[in-house]
Structure 1
Amino acid sequence: SSTVPRPVMSCGTVLLVEDEDAVRAFASRALASRGYTVLEARSGVEALERMKTDGADIELVVSDVVMPEMDGPSLLRELRKTQPNLKIIFVSGYAEDAFKKNLPEGEVFAFLPKPFSLKQLVQAVKEAMGSDATASD
């Protein structure tokens, strides 16, 4: 679609799992404009497919909690089988406690309540990715 050269230094690769096209497009653009490489999936099932092909590059998964076919917590359980250290941010219009009980004990994740702003999204991703990287602003 556009011929903008990719920045040489990507900030990292993010897999965005969101069944609402508008939300996914908005989040994808926001992260891409900040230098992240963004892969998109419309469902948990599609996310697992992306993981099979691009899993080695993906450092962070940003996933909606409530999705058809496979919800966020179920997706996380599947992802953990192959990538125990994968970072995850759950996005939800519901309270964190509403889905936390569906997660494995001691699971570490970040939480971004909907609706979120571009700034909140970028900040959450930066914090999740930056816990072991020394990236400066």
Structure 2
Amino acid sequence: MARILVAEDDPSVRAFVVSALTMKGHEVIAEEDGGLAAETMEAEGGRFDLLLTDIKMPVMDGIALALQVGASYPDVTILMMTGFADQRERAHGLDALIYDVIAKPFTLADLLAKVDDALNGVPVEVVPLARRGLQ
């Protein structure tokens, strides 16, 4: 299975995501902010298949983390998550760098399907933000 680095500041969301991905058989390392995730990515030499990061976090947000990881480790797939529509719009300019943004709250099935798609390189369906519930 895949090696996944999770960056999420909300302890309950982080625990949910780690549990779901671990049960699916992935090797998961989780950090509570983008700064720690960047340090872990560096310490591991970019040896991750996927970075799953929240956008809005203290220390270093997911946008800055994605920019840093994308520049240093372009083979790492980046999937972002957010519960804020304005943060989703901030990520829109990163289309060439990130795989997609998953909207919170998400179900276990939604999370696992999106992670599988990202790892398998399945093209993202272009869906208007209004249909995703992000206006």
* Length-normalised TM-score, structure 1: 0.80
The alpha-carbon deviation at position 104 of structure 1 amounts to 4.4
Tell me which residue corresponds to 2:98. Answer: 108
Deviation sequence 1:54-109 (CA, Å, 0-9, x none): 244311000000001111111111112210121111100123652135x4463332
Are the counterparts in 1 of residues 6 and 29 from structure 2 also a CA contact under 8 Å?
yes
Q: Give, in whole Å, the separation in 1 of the partners of 2:95 and 2:51.
A: 19
Tell me the amino acid that sits aligned with residue 99 of structure 1: R
After superposition, the C-alpha distances for 1:100-136 in whole angstroms (9 at most, x for unaligned) are 35x446333211100011111111110000128xxxx
Amino acid at match of 1:127: D
The answer for the alignment partner of 1:122 in structure 2 is 112
SS in 2 for 1:14: strand
Q: Report the counterpart of residue 135 of structure 1 in structure 2.
A: none
Q: Flag the 1:39–1:106 CA change in 2: closer, same or farther, 3 A.
A: same
- Matching residue of 2:26: 36
* Partner residue, 2:7: 17
Q: Distance in 2 between matches of 1:105 and 1:26?
A: 26
**Number of equivalences:** 121
Identity of paired residues, percent? 29
What are the ranges of 5 or more consecutive residues in structure 1 without an aligned counterpart? Answer: 1-10, 133-137
Structure-2 separation of matches of 1:20 and 1:127: 24
Partner of 1:3: none
The separation in 2 between residues aligned to 1:38 and 1:97, in whole angstroms, is 24
Distance 2:94 2:117 in 1: 22
TM-score computed with the length of structure 2 as normaliser: 0.81
Q: Secondary structure of 1:58's match?
A: coil
Number of the residue aligned with 1:94 = 84
Deviations 1:6-39 (A, max 9, x none): xxxxx11010100011110011000000001001
Aligned position for 1:26: 16
